[in-house]
Amino acid sequence: MFDIQMFDIQQYLDQQRQIVENGLQRYMMQEEGKFSSHIESMRYSLFVGGKRIRPILCLAAGRSVSDAPNIEETLLPAACALECIHTYSLIHDDLPAMDNDDLRRGQPTCHKKFGEAEAILAGDGLLTYAFALLSNPSLPGPETETRLQLIAVLAKAAGSQGMVGGQYLDIASEEKTIPFELLKTIHRSKTGALITASVRMGALAAQGDPTQLEALIRYGDAVGLAFQIVDDLLDVTASTEQLGKTAGTDAQQGKATYPAFFGKEKTRALAKEAVDSAQEALSSFDERAEPLRALAQYIFKRTC
């Protein structure tokens, strides 16, 4: 049994975030040529800030199944692709037709800075660039067959049976009374699918075996659920300054959330249950999975 309390999660996050930032700077298109203004809007949202949780989960999952000294370099294009997808989703979520937010990561949202049309195209650009990163044979990465698997995993998680589908259900359910099962589907799709994909892609690219992959998918499912439950809770307990985006928007828009169903204390308990499930999924892993264990606790502690 490993002592999570001894693991310095903040130091780990800072180190891993810097690896991701360096990768994004290395791989992202520069503001030059005829498309410089378009690329500027893409880079603005990509580099305006963020915890980089999804790419860090990808790197951590890969390390949990591999002793290769350079495994992070192999995983980095996939990790950066995940951040491109996540950032595109935030740009589109913030648009007036969806969540209509003015702030993201404490800064003006993309459409506020560049205009709605430019923001839509910035999101489209990041979405497609993610797959350019995954499929580029000149970048570090696994063999071609595994790259194809990574592309398929990311496409499904980001698409109509994942993040996009979840966003559709979320919008379609506003100002409606929905069953709890539908809320779980929304959370699994809108947020959980990309988090599970992050862990799965890291393990696939690092050549994890089927048993490891199955356990890490269970971990990703549980952490993804915990992440969205905590997001629901923070929307009603944290300030705009703490969130870096407008607080209280879920209630204003009539969204179905865990606090709306269960109240704050029960929601916090359900988040803890999801984190415990994530920890249990890692019971057969050694100390290489310690960052994943600590990340699950870190996600829950955002409720405090």
**In the chain, where are the structural domains located?**
4-301
Residue 215 CB partners (closer than 8 Å, separation 6+): 281, 282, 284, 285
If phi > 0 it is left, if psi is from -120 to 50 it is alpha, else beta; for residue 140 that is beta
Give the residue from 280, 255, 117 showing the smallest Cα distance to 191.
Answer: 255
- Alpha-carbon span 81 to 137, nearest angstrom: 14
- Alpha-carbon span 16 to 295, nearest angstrom: 12
pLDDT in tens, the chain (304 residues): 445 557 899 999 999 999 999 999 999 999 999 999 999 999 999 999 899 999 999 999 999 999 999 999 999 999 999 999 999 999 999 999 998 999 998 899 999 999 999 999 999 999 999 999 999 999 999 999 999 999 999 999 999 999 999 999 999 998 999 999 999 999 999 999 999 999 999 999 999 999 999 999 999 999 999 999 998 999 888 767 766 666 667 667 778 889 989 999 999 999 999 999 999 999 999 999 999 999 999 998 875 4
Using DSSP, state whether 253 is helix, strand or coil.
Answer: coil
* φ and ψ at residue 174, rounded to 5 degrees: -60, 140
What torsion do the CA atoms of 241, 245, 246, 251 make, to the nearest 10 degrees?
Answer: -120
Element (H, E) at 237: helix 210-237
- Alpha-carbon span 124 to 118, nearest angstrom: 10
Using DSSP, state whether 228 is helix, strand or coil.
Answer: helix
Q: pLDDT tens digit string along 153-180?
A: 999 999 999 999 999 999 999 899 999 9
Using DSSP, state whether 191 is helix, strand or coil.
Answer: helix
Percentage of the residues of the chain whose pLDDT score is greater than 70: 94
- Alpha-carbon span 251 to 70, nearest angstrom: 46
If phi > 0 it is left, if psi is from -120 to 50 it is alpha, else beta; for residue 244 that is left
- Alpha-carbon span 130 to 86, nearest angstrom: 10
Using DSSP, state whether 65 is helix, strand or coil.
Answer: helix
Pick the CATH number of 4-301 from 3.30.70.380, 1.10.645.10, 1.10.600.10, 3.10.20.30: 1.10.600.10
First to last CA, the chain: 25
